[in-house]
């Protein structure tokens, strides 16, 4: 933690005063409104379960199922080993939408990618 903080402070100290803006474009010593806008490219495989009577109501609860480390990779069949995907594969019905993403091999769950996935599912 100390090393990261020291590196951040060092990077900040080395940043030129005019970095990222034109000369004298922002008044010093004042707070100015700003906006950050970045596109996020996310590619993630997942299983999607929709309740049997999905089209009969407008809103549904949503369950995000995150598997353990042993199911990482690019084979969605691995997701059916445990939890809701296993129960759905066995024929169990649920009164909710279930989103079961698969974490890529040698990676861990990232909040930003999970939120992007949920945003996409909810939009559709």
27-45 tens-digit pLDDT: 777 788 888 777 878 889 9
The string of DSSP codes covering 46-108 is: EEEE--TTGGG-S---EEE----GGG-SS-GGGGGGSHHHHHHHTT---SSEEEEE-PPTT--
Q: What are phi and psi of 105, to 5 degrees?
A: -55, 140
pLDDT of amino acid 124: 84
Give CA separation, 44 vs 10, 26, 41, 96, in Å.
36, 40, 10, 21
pLDDT of amino acid 7: 40
pLDDT digits (tens, 9 = 90+) for 46-79: 999 999 999 998 899 999 999 999 999 999 999 9
pTM of the model: 0.69
Q: How confident is the model at residue 24 (pLDDT cuts 50, 70, 90)?
A: low
81-95 average pLDDT score: 96
CB 89 within 8 A of CB 47: no
pLDDT digits (tens, 9 = 90+) for 108-123: 999 999 999 999 999 8
93-103 average pLDDT score: 96
The Cα 35–Cα 44 span in angstroms is 28
Q: What are phi and psi of 63, to 5 degrees?
A: -110, 125
Across the chain, mean pLDDT equals 82
Tell me the two tokens of residue 124: 């559709």
């Amino acid at each position: 933690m100390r090393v990261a903080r020291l590196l951040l402070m060092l990077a900040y100290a080395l940043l030129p005063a005019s970095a990222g803006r034109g000369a004298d474009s922002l008044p010093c010593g004042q707070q100015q409104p700003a906006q950050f806008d970045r596109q996020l490219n996310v590619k993630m495989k997942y299983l999607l379960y929709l309740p049997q009577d999905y089209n009969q109501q407008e809103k549904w609860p949503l369950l995000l199922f995150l598997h353990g480390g042993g199911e990482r990779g690019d084979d969605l069949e691995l997701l059916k080993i445990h939890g809701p995907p296993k129960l759905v594969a066995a024929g169990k019905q649920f009164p909710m939408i279930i989103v079961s993403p698969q974490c890529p091999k040698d990676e861990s769950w990232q909040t930003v990618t999970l939120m992007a996935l949920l945003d996409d599912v909810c939009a559709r």
